[in-house]
Amino acid sequence: MLMKKLSNVHWMGHLLALAILAAVALAGVTGWADALYTLSGNEMETKLNESAQAIVPQLIDVSTGVKGEDVMLDEGMMVTVLHNGTTMRVTAQEESIAQLLARMAVIPSPIEMVGVEKFADHVMLTISDCLTTYEQVTELAPHTTTYLQTPDLLVGTQRIVQPGKDGIRTAIYEQTWMAGEVISRQFVEELSTTAEPAIVEEGTSVNSVSADDRMIGVKYNEDGSGYLTFASGATMRFKEAKTMTATAYTATDKGVNNITATGTAVRQGVAAVDKKVIPLGTQMYVVAKNAEYGMARAEDTGVKGNKIDLYYGTYQECINFGRRSATVYILDD
C-alpha cells in the first residue's frame, strides 16, 4: 500500500479498540453505528485491512491527480465525507484514509472514486463516479506572438520589434475522471513562464479609403502631422491639417465644364483650390462641419485664398452643402 504521512505520529493501537470507539463516537452523529464492524480479534483486523486495501486504488489526490496514494491522518483531525448527497463528519484516529473509510463501512462501488482534498486542519473526501482534479505541471512553453497595429507602416507590411523565445512554464490543468480513468484534460491557468513573446508590428496605413468608410479618430504629433483612424481599422497619415471654408460646385454651374484645370474629368472627389495655398495634385481628406466629404484631390482651380470648392454630381447636393467650415487633412505623398 502506497502511504503518505501528514504528521510524524506513527500508526499504533489495536483495530478492535478503534472500531469500538468509532461505534460509540458515530452512533449519535451519523446514525451509522449498526453499519460498523463488530467483529473481534484478528478476524476483525483482517476484515478491516482487506477493505482498506480495496479502497486504496480508488483514492485520487485532487491537487495533483495522483491515483492510488493513501494518506495518514493525525489523531483528532476532522474529516468530511461526501457520498450520495450525504455529508458526514468524523474525527480521525491515527489511521489512513482507506482505513477510516473501511472503519466507517463506506466502501466505494467499482465505478466510484474517492477525491482527496487536504487542508491544513481537515480533509475533504468526495466519493463519486465523476471527479474533477487540478494538476500542476511544468512543461515546455512555445512562445506566443503579439501583433501591434501600427499606423507608421503601410498596410500589408510587418516589423519585428522583439523575436520570440521558447521557455518552461508552470501551468494548471483540469482533469475529469470517470470510473478511475481520465476522460478529459484541459488547460486552466498559467502560473509562470520563462517564454518571451514575439512582438510584431503590423501596418495599418493606407493611401485612400472607400467612400463608405468613415473617420472615427485623429491623432496629432507635435509638428502638426498625424494620422486619421477609420471605422475599417485603416489609418491614413497626414502632413498637416488646414481649417478652410468649404463650398460645393457641379458641372452645370455657370462657367464650369466637364474638364478640370488639370485636364481630368470632373467627378466626386475633385476639389478646386487656390494653387498658391494648396498645390495641384495634392491628396486630401476633407471633413466639413456635419458633412464628411472624404477623399479629395486638388485638380481644379477657380477659388482664391483659404477656400476649397468640392465637386458634387448634382445641383441639389451643392445647395444642401452650402458653405461650411472644414478641416482639410493634407495627406502624405
SS3 assignment, position 52: helix
Give 28-85 pLDDT, tens digit per residue: 344 343 344 444 456 666 777 888 888 999 999 988 888 998 999 999 999 999 998 8
**If pLDDT is split at 50, 70 and 90, which confidence band does 226 have?**
very high
Q: What is the pLDDT of residue 31?
A: 38
**Could you tell me the pTM of the whole model?**
0.58
**If pLDDT is split at 50, 70 and 90, which confidence band does 202 have?**
very high
**If pLDDT is split at 50, 70 and 90, which confidence band does 169 have?**
very high
**If pLDDT is split at 50, 70 and 90, which confidence band does 198 have?**
very high
Query: Which contiguous run of DSSP H or E holds residue 315?
Result: helix 315-321
Place of cell 482487506: 50
State the Rg of the chain over Cα.
40
Q: What is the mean pLDDT of the chain?
A: 85
Give bridge partners of residue 174 from the DSSP assignment: 134, 186
Rounded CA gap, 97 and 104, in Å? 11
Cα within 13 Å of Cα(261), Cβ side:
17
Rounded CA gap, 261 and 300, in Å? 5
Q: What is the pLDDT of residue 220?
A: 95
Closest C-alpha among 103, 123, 85 to residue 7: 123
Are 314 and 251 in contact by the 8 Å Cβ rule? The answer is no
Query: Which contiguous run of DSSP H or E holds residue 51?
Result: helix 41-55
Q: For residue 10, is pLDDT > 50? A: no
Are 228 and 235 in contact by the 8 Å Cβ rule? The answer is yes
Are 294 and 211 in contact by the 8 Å Cβ rule? The answer is yes
**If pLDDT is split at 50, 70 and 90, which confidence band does 212 have?**
very high
Q: What is the pLDDT of residue 51?
A: 84
Q: What is the pLDDT of residue 54?
A: 87
Closest C-alpha among 208, 226, 204, 205 to residue 217: 226
Give 265-276 pLDDT, tens digit per residue: 999 999 999 999
Q: What is the pLDDT of residue 180?
A: 84
Using CB atoms within 10 Å of the CB of residue 6, give its burial: 0 to 12 exposed, 13 to 18 middle, 19+ buried: middle
DSSP notation for 233-256: S-EEEEEEEEEEEEEEE-TTSTT-
Rounded CA gap, 133 and 114, in Å? 11
Q: For residue 322, is pLDDT > 90? A: yes
Q: What share of the chain is helix, strand, coil (3-state, %, to 5)?
A: 15, 50, 40
SS3 assignment, position 45: helix
Q: What are the cell numbers at 80?
A: 468530511
Percent of the chain with pLDDT over 90: 66
Looking at per-residue pLDDT, the higher value among 1 and 179 belongs to 179
Angle formed at CA 198 by CA 194 and CA 200, multiple of 5 degrees? 160
Q: What are the cell numbers at 288?
A: 466639413
